[in-house]
Structure 1
Amino acid sequence: MSANKVISVRASMQAGCQINADIRGHKVTIDQPIKAGGSDAGPTPLEFFLFSLGGCIASIARLAATQQKIELRGMDIEVDGTMNPAGLLGKPTEVRIGFQSIVVKATIDADLTDVEKAKFFKEVCHRCPLDDNIMLETEVSHHLA
């Protein structure tokens, strides 16, 4: 069994609605749309979350294709999350605050039959750590520094 790997990200609140991070030298900004009081300098946290899921699936697909000697010419991924924003706005709600559903759709450009593409996509999603974190309960602890 291989050793566990810790991946860390540190975010810092900036002026307005912006949150910045320097992740391995990559400057990343999260913001809110202008109509929500932000300056639209970057995607929202929810958009980044969905992008991260799609990006993880695509990254694993490239890895799996290389391992399986599949010529993966391309893969387009659409991730749609459905949620009720009442809870995050501090309003009473009977539904959970997070996404009630997430739908991931992929178009795979490879010399595979439809059945083979479906099998490959299912395997890739199963190997994606973010898909795993969404599908299964993950312990999250909160602490003040």
Structure 2
Amino acid sequence: MSNEHIKNTLLAAIGNIKENPAGAKVVFRASTRLGDGMHCLGKVRDFPDMSIDEPADLGGTDHGPNPVEIVLVALGTCQEIVYRAYAAVLGIELESVKCDLRGYIDLRGLFGMQDGVPAGFQKIIFETEVKSSASREDLQKLAQIVEKHCPVLNTLQAPVEVLGNVVINGQPMALEATA
């Protein structure tokens, strides 16, 4: 897909939002279900099911990445997509964009072994490598824009309201507030 096509598509979307600001509010959906053992299947739109599992040393059969690895993939691919989108709009040619990510978790939080240890990531480190013939100044401007507007990075950095409920055998269960 050409940068010109991406640029025109995004500028058309921006124009539509300017004409109809309510159209800016969208909902993305996914569903998941537990299979055998630790293996799960995730469904998004009309794509084939995604296979999600744990490695053998965490009780799984290693039939796919685990959920926290998918968070890392989501961050890296979101960075790359936002680089492509803004580069197209700004007229910057990209040769390549690649992200390497590391997420640090203390398993004592997952296993409830120590109070005060979070179950999730304590730190995520990413390095995005951009190759382009554009000027360093233009690429620095692009990087600043991406860091400010990457939805997954923003989701990980800012508190997000997460609401949920549990239904047990057809009956809703009251959940205590956790925050």
- The reply to whether TM is greater than 0.5 is yes
CA drift at 1:84: 1.1
Contact 2:93/2:134 (<8 A) preserved: no
Helix, strand or coil at the partner of 1:108: strand
- Higher helix fraction: Structure 1 or Structure 2? 2
AA of the residue aligned to 1:59: I
AA of the residue aligned to 1:64: Y
Helix, strand or coil at the partner of 1:50: helix
Fraction of identical pairs, as percent: 26
- TM-score norm. by structure 2 comes to 0.75
- 1:13 aligned to 34, 39, 51, which one? 34
Q: What RMSD in Å do the two structures reach over aligned CA positions?
A: 1.5
Which ranges in structure 2 are unaligned for 5 or more consecutive residues? 1-20, 168-179
1:125 pairs with 2:147: yes
- TM-score norm. by structure 1 comes to 0.92
Rounded Cα–Cα distance in structure 2 between residues aligned with 1:27 and 1:13: 12
- 2:98 aligned to 76, 84, 103, which one? 76
AA of the residue aligned to 1:28: M
Which is worse superposed, 30-39 or 118-127? 118-127
Helix, strand or coil at the partner of 1:72: coil
AA of the residue aligned to 1:14: G
AA of the residue aligned to 2:36: A
Q: Aligned pair count?
A: 145
Rounded Cα–Cα distance in structure 1 between residues aligned with 2:76 and 2:42: 20
- 1:92 aligned to 114, 123, 129, which one? 114
Q: Which has the larger radius of gyration?
A: 2
Structure 1 match to 2:81: 59
